[in-house]
Structure 1
Amino acid sequence: MIRIMVVDDDPTACKVLTRMLQPDYTVVSFTNGIEAFNHFVRNGADIILTDLRMPGMDGFELLTRVRVVDPEVIVFMITGFSTVDSAVTAIKKGANDYIPKPFEPDDVLIRLERAIKEKNLEKGFRACQQERKMATERHRIITNHPKMLAAMHMAKKVARTDSTVLVQGETGVGKELIARMIHQWSDRKDHAFVPVNCSALSDGIIESELFGHEKGAFTGAVDKRLGFFELADKGSILLDEIGTTDHRFQVKLLRVLQDKFIYRVGSPTARHVDVRIIAATNQDLEREARENLFRSDLYYRLSVVTIRIPPLRDRKEDVPLLVEHFVKKHRHINPRITSISPEGLAALAHYNYPGNVRELENIVERAMILENGEQLTPASLLMESDQMPSPEAALRPLPENGENRDGRFQLKWAEKEYILRVLQLCNGKKIEAAKLLGINKTTLWRKMKKYGIDTVQ
């Protein structure tokens, strides 16, 4: 069942919304933004309905923080100040929609149902319930390659300790999966695992987000706020893309590693934190430390144990296993498909995967949308022509306007066909199609105009 979190400093509003939603949804309510966020970090939620104007952590702050933890969560802003300006501001800051007070039950339920449909949550809830019972299965790494097995063995060994770990590898290789496995195998598994994307936090706010701040610490700090380190107490924190942080922050992080204390912004009080730190990067931090681009003392503190994840191009033996896994994972898109053809596997074997495992999953998911048969084929994979051994053999015959003089596959034709098939799958509904394509509605509209696509085609 879909989990909804209601956050409003008015207890009556919480009760009204809870009664309104409980027949169809699992609802938990909070009258305090900090408590709500703490619950979200530990337990998650599918939808959040939060008041806009609240003391302490207001709706905008809560929105910003939950987006760091889970960019996909649906957030509605509740406001008694139902002006156009407040609604527009909420949506600009990333809210999916807003709900004005006083509540109209039909309006609230319609908005929720529309948001759920747009996010395509319904298709995954049964799988999610099963996944929650099997956390290890959810985050397992699919591999038979010696280098990956060695990395997993190292992760399992270091999980028994509290040593700091540095996970290195290109974008998309599965660094967060390794970090989660370390947490799941450790004695901290019953406490929070808090992933933080450092590259998404500007130099001006990263200290406040990680260490928290006191009321009045800076303009807009109307109340104290817990940082991610305090929320991860007794658990683990993943500092992803640690190489993007500036030297000033690195000094403070070094002090946390040394002393196990944090200082909230605006507070002279040291607060003890018991947190396992796992850092991840796609950069060569050792080289950057030598060149003074990254603090060498912090590098040596972070790299007590270093786990290097090889790129997918160096372990192509795993591609068939990964494809089988992703076909099962995305089978809800096209239940007829159960496997990939030998020709399809041959095409994938000649690709170098600059986006690694994440890119392979995207390729399989896209092919599940496009394929009309029972097996994934080179045609539905729509691989880049210059990465494949023979474009003419790997792709089905194209119309005349889909070829150049030398017969090479024209990517514009592929994109147009891809968009047409997704629109057909979604019965012409642009919002759903945009979600499946991984683009926003405006970009989809622009591409449809560019290629002369009409939804009635």
Structure 2
Amino acid sequence: MSNKKRIMLIDNEEGLCRMMEAVLLDHGYAVKAFIRSFEAVEEFTPGQWDLVVTDIKMPGMDGLEVLQRVKMKDPNIPVIMITAYATVEMSIQALRKGAYDMLTKPFEPEELLYRVKNALQHTQLLEENRELREELVGKFRFENIIGASEGLKSVLERVEKIAIRDTSVLITGESGTGKELIAQAIHYNSLRRDKKFIAINCGALPESILESELFGYKKGAFTGALENRQGLLEAADGGTLFLDEVGNLPMNVQKTLLRFLQEQEFLRIGETTPTRVDVRILSATNSDLKATVKTGTFREDLYYRLNVVNIHLPPLRERQADIPLLAAHFITLQNKKFGTAIKGLAPEAMDAACCYPWPGNIRQLRNVVEASVAMEGSDYITLPVLSQFIEVQADNVPLHDAEGEEGEYARALSRFEVDYLKGLLRKNRGNIDAAAREAGMNMATIYRKMKKYNIRREDFS
């Protein structure tokens, strides 16, 4: 397939039409010229053209009607209008109907090429932005968030319900549990998905800088304010602002933020005229905001404005079923990044990982996996390598079945394990987490035995 940009030319002046066609062909474009506008509109099919160049004044169907009909078929196609009578009213009318540019007769070939190049670059940027948005939306679809535990499923069900409702959400949980990931999932599954998602860590900046970062300032408002500056709240207009570690907001910033949540307006530093924006506020904290309200370091009225809906993320130690899935995901990422071929965690390493409390939660697991992949020389991350990065208690690692067992006892034990596991999975409809809880077994052990006996969860769900 040719990569040439495809241009449709429409002009009832045959000489001018052929001249434009020749110029564009000479510069590598794929061009088809029409001197009858009806024929051009009839042949126009979305996706087959990159640009339309049409005269305005034509018999039968004029250029404005061509523009309207083409835009009905393909709203994103750029259209350049040509006219010998470029009045202000006509230009405004054409631009309102969706024209990208106006070209006034007579014009030089260089001007035609310049306008065409600009229109096609604009279209390419729009397409790239669309692809990036689709990629982001896909990345934060609920099914792409890693985990199978009941705790995470409950969170995602709640997130899915509130994503489309334009309310403030407070996300709570220990450090490293994935609060920003949930905030991004809310944004990219909301009606604001095509607008900006902006995040700021409220605990990472000093008070004076935090205020100007959030709300912006007017030139001359303070020493060093050499020009007007837009704050993050204004930059996120139409989209979402995520305030991480919101419990660290100083009192003066809390007051300004409360006014915004109540009135949808705020004052830049040094200004007396309020600025109005449309922004959804998502916030997160790993501290107990109710306790800070009681001590007077966090405004009670702001707390209730932020906490319209609360989503609490359980720590990783309460999501044991997710550890094997998360570890596999992080190993895959590392393999792609560095060209390695680690297949996973060895059984005893997986058991140790599932027993470990992970005080740093998912962030710590990711860092440990990255370090282990870098240090491991075999196909699997082994317990000796893993134990360099987490504390492994001997009594926390379940005993493994002896490999290569022989005799009647071993065969009877295998038959028992197969029947027991199948019955357990059948009873719990393939839910590994529930099966492990009922059996009092480690999740990793169940996965390992299923692999050993070639038992598939899908056969029981």
TM-score (norm: length of structure 2)? 0.55
1:221 aligned partner: 225
1:426 aligned partner: none
Secondary structure, aligned partner of 1:234 = coil
1:357 aligned partner: 362
Instruction: Tell me whether 1:314 sits opposite 2:318 in the alignment.
Output: yes
How far apart, CA to CA, are the structure 2 residues paired with 1:212 and 1:232? 12
Judge conservation of contact 2:151–2:314 (CA < 8 Å) in 1.
yes
Q: For 1:186, which of 183, 187, 190 is the aligned residue?
A: 190
2:181 aligned partner: 177
1:346 aligned partner: 351
Q: CA deviation at 1:176?
A: 0.2
Long gaps (5+) in structure 2:
1-130, 400-461
How far apart, CA to CA, are the structure 1 residues paired with 2:288 and 2:271? 35
2:92 aligned partner: none
* Greater C-alpha radius of gyration: 2
Equivalent residues, number: 266
How far apart, CA to CA, are the structure 2 residues paired with 1:266 and 1:161? 34
Alignment of 1:31-430 (within 5 A): 134-139=135-140, 140-331=144-335, 332-333=337-338, 335-383=340-388, 386-389=391-394
Judge conservation of contact 1:162–1:276 (CA < 8 Å) in 2.
yes
Q: CA deviation at 1:360?
A: 0.2
1:33 aligned partner: none
Judge conservation of contact 1:165–1:302 (CA < 8 Å) in 2.
yes
Amino acid at match of 1:207: E
Change (3 A) 1:137 1:375: farther
Secondary structure, aligned partner of 1:177 = helix
Secondary structure, aligned partner of 1:205 = helix
Note the alpha carbon deviations across 1:396-440, whole angstroms, 9 max, x for none.
Answer: xxxxxxxxxxxxxxxxxxxxxxxxxxxxxxxxxxxxxxxxxxxxx
Q: CA deviation at 1:273?
A: 0.8
Q: CA deviation at 1:382?
A: 2.9
Note the alpha carbon deviations across 1:271-323, whole angstroms, 9 max, x for none.
Answer: 11100000100001122212322111110110000000000011111100101
Secondary structure, aligned partner of 1:267 = coil
Note the alpha carbon deviations across 1:83-114, whole angstroms, 9 max, x for none.
Answer: xxxxxxxxxxxxxxxxxxxxxxxxxxxxxxxx
Amino acid at match of 2:378: G
Judge conservation of contact 1:172–1:356 (CA < 8 Å) in 2.
yes
Change (3 A) 1:213 1:131: closer
Change (3 A) 1:132 1:230: closer
Amino acid at match of 2:174: E
Secondary structure, aligned partner of 1:200 = coil
Amino acid at match of 1:355: G
Q: CA deviation at 1:157?
A: 1.0
1:5 aligned partner: none
2:113 aligned partner: none
Judge conservation of contact 1:334–1:369 (CA < 8 Å) in 2.
no
How far apart, CA to CA, are the structure 2 residues paired with 1:211 and 1:199? 16
- Percent identical among aligned pairs is 41
Long gaps (5+) in structure 1:
1-129, 395-457
Judge conservation of contact 1:230–1:273 (CA < 8 Å) in 2.
yes
TM-score (norm: length of structure 1)? 0.56
Judge conservation of contact 1:334–1:368 (CA < 8 Å) in 2.
no
2:88 aligned partner: none
How far apart, CA to CA, are the structure 2 residues paired with 1:273 and 1:156? 25
Secondary structure, aligned partner of 1:297 = helix
Note the alpha carbon deviations across 1:207-256, whole angstroms, 9 max, x for none.
Answer: 11101000000000000000000100000000000001112211111111
How far apart, CA to CA, are the structure 2 residues paired with 1:180 and 1:194? 9
Change (3 A) 1:219 1:327: same
Amino acid at match of 1:262: F
Change (3 A) 1:195 1:392: closer
